[in-house]
Structure 1
Amino acid sequence: MNAQFKPATAAALLLCLTTINGEIEIPVNPKRIIADQYLGSLIALGVTPIGTPGLHRQNPYLADALKGVEDIGDVNGSLEKVIDLQPDLIVTGAAEAEGRYDQLAKIAPTVSVPYGDLKNAHEELTYFGKLLGKEKEAEAWLAEYDRRIASARERVVKAVPADATFSIFEMAGKSTYVYGDNFGRGGQAVYQALGFKPPAPIAAEIMEKQWAELSNEVLPQYAGDYIILTSNDRTLEEIKADPVWSTLDAVKNDHMYVWKEERSWYYDPIAILSQTEEIAAWLTGQE
């Protein structure tokens, strides 16, 4: 995201920011931030918002940091609750075309970063470090992030063949989905952090689309040597007994990791770091 930051007026202590919604002014040191997205990046920078949607408050990777944060409602949150909290800055993923941005911008200065504009932990922390005057904090956090990711990768390459392929799946009800490297479910950890690849025939498709619903007939085409599967109601033992899944090499070879959505859905930098180390521990037999 090619945002530009520059002082507006020193007396007013405002920062002039060029965004997808044009040029806006935000406080240099906002004290009352509402974040309906990018919560993990703010927490990593030592910034605790005053409010966030309930789904984000359930993030297990951020639990200790969110005890005093108000629940503004499900998904994007309630406009009435946002007004009640009197924010001086709102951070959102809402695009202008959705109409919600205009509603939020009437309440307080609003910075919108649509999903997918920031591609990885480095882009997120760097962007919000500049936005909030936390550049040094961003650099320090990312240095430790890189150290721990490199350590996990070093352990994993000794345990997993270099040409092994990985697939990111989710079972939800009767549907099965496959995911790319920027849509949660462990994709950021497996593909970005650990550097693994999906099966070559479907790699370009899944990295471009980021997700797709699969039928049982095409499931084997998307199945790599290792599978990371999100499922709230199926155990590994049940999957091994399934007439379709049991035919996959990853299942036959015990190369499948099953976790619940509460562990895999989140894709903020803090979650990605924990997920990477969790998957690395499984791959190296340290779980």
Structure 2
Amino acid sequence: MVRIQTTSARLCLLGIIFLLLAACSSKQTDISTPPTRSFEHAAGKTEVPVKPLRVASDQHMGQLLKLGIKPVAVRENMLKEAWIPYANLDEQALEGIEDLGGFPLNLEKLTLVEPDLIISALPNNQEQYSKIAPTVHIPYWSESYKTPMDKLLKIASLFDKTAVAENWIKEFEGKLADAQKKIADAGKLKEGQTVSVMAVFDKNVFVFGPNGAYGGYMIYDYLKLKPTDKVEELRNKDMGSAELSLEAVPEYMGDHAFITVVNEDKAKELLESDFWKSIPAVMNEQVYFYDSKIFAMDDPYSLEAQLDAIVNLLTGAK
């Protein structure tokens, strides 16, 4: 009788031990293989962590921070973005984010930060990044983005942050409505007058249309200012832009023009030309120059800074 009880006790003890070992093994498996899901992006579909904890990105830092996601590492220029001084970020917002160099990211440093997700803006970096961690390709510009908001929502969907993005969009739309009223009340831009958006680069001038960079989407798509007929033709062109010779600039000039200068020597050549001085917008002092760096990006912080800059130029505010 005693032997039977002792044997039973031993069997129970062994059963408990096996259960504990199975539970520990299950926990270890859970830790080493976090749940994933399939995410569709510009380069295909990738299995990504359901809740990424260590994100590295060579673009889109402004979108990530606005969504409440602090990347562990980014491309070097992102840590010096022009919007940062305007963003009123907390002192710790950028603290500890690793600098991974330019395009492509430094692969050795990228490996050392142990990302569980990498975001690539350029398709040719996809393969080498993917050897380090799951990588999704979210380009700076894409035909699938009708506005920068579409890109923000795409990035938000990667992190289950769609509600956060939608809340910011709603707030920004309120700011746009206030800005439109301020511009109308100021009377500087008369009803029916047209507007051009241009940038002076090293060789030629680029003109931007609806959904174009350097303020195109802000001025046409958000503030609803009127483009010239030739500018309207750029709506469906690649990058929403066209490259112009200096002599072709007057053809695209509206009653008002917003110009950003990337190359000062080339801008001097344009501004000192006779044909420039004969343009009605120039003679009427309705050409406005603004900081090119602020208008180079389309993240939420940049859009907020751009909106303030345009409103100030059209209302005379400081």
Give the TM-score range, shorter chain.
0.7 to 0.9
1:20 and 1:121 map into 2 onto residues whose CA distance is 16
Greater shift in the superposed pair: 26-35 or 134-143: 134-143
Q: 236, 241, 244: which is aligned to 2:275? A: 244
Question: By how many angstroms is 1:13 displaced?
Answer: 2.3
CA shift in 2, pair 1:67/1:236, >3 Å = farther
Residue number in structure 1 paired with 2:98: 70
Question: By how many angstroms is 1:161 displaced?
Answer: 2.0
Deviations 1:4-33 (A, max 9, x none): xxxxx9x84222223343332111221111
Question: By how many angstroms is 1:206 displaced?
Answer: 5.6
State whether structure 2 residue 80 is matched by structure 1 residue 58: yes
* Conserved? CA contact 1:54–1:75, under 8 Å: no
State whether structure 2 residue 189 is matched by structure 1 residue 156: no
CA shift in 2, pair 1:264/1:205, >3 Å = closer
State whether structure 2 residue 177 is matched by structure 1 residue 146: no
Greater shift in the superposed pair: 82-91 or 157-166: 157-166
State whether structure 2 residue 43 is matched by structure 1 residue 15: no
Greater shift in the superposed pair: 257-266 or 30-39: 257-266
Structure having the larger proportion of residues in helix: 2
AA aligned to 2:153 is T
2:205 and 2:52 map into 1 onto residues whose CA distance is 42
AA aligned to 1:224 is G
Greater shift in the superposed pair: 110-119 or 214-223: 110-119
- Unmatched tracts of structure 2, length 5 or more: 1-29
1:25 and 1:133 map into 2 onto residues whose CA distance is 15
| Structure 2 counterparts to residues 72-221 of structure 1, below 5 A | 72-95=100-123, 98=124, 100-114=125-139, 115-116=141-142, 117-158=144-185, 159=187, 160-205=189-234, 207-209=236-238, 210-221=240-251
2:245 and 2:41 map into 1 onto residues whose CA distance is 40
Q: Could you state the TM-score of these two structures normalised by the residue count of structure 2?
A: 0.78
AA aligned to 1:208 is K
Greater shift in the superposed pair: 232-241 or 184-193: 232-241
1:215 and 1:239 map into 2 onto residues whose CA distance is 10
CA shift in 2, pair 1:125/1:20, >3 Å = closer
Greater shift in the superposed pair: 147-156 or 200-209: 200-209
1:76 and 1:247 map into 2 onto residues whose CA distance is 45
Greater shift in the superposed pair: 28-37 or 62-71: 62-71
Greater shift in the superposed pair: 195-204 or 104-113: 195-204
2:212 and 2:79 map into 1 onto residues whose CA distance is 19
Which structure: larger Rg? 2
Among all aligned residue pairs of Structure 1 and Structure 2, give the percentage whose two residues are the same amino acid: 29
* Conserved? CA contact 1:185–1:264, under 8 Å: yes
1:21 and 1:237 map into 2 onto residues whose CA distance is 42
Greater shift in the superposed pair: 43-52 or 56-65: 56-65
- State the SS of the aligned residue for 2:227: coil
- State the SS of the aligned residue for 1:90: strand
2:249 and 2:71 map into 1 onto residues whose CA distance is 42
* Conserved? CA contact 2:270–2:276, under 8 Å: yes
State whether structure 2 residue 259 is matched by structure 1 residue 229: yes
CA shift in 2, pair 1:152/1:48, >3 Å = same
Question: By how many angstroms is 1:157 displaced?
Answer: 2.9
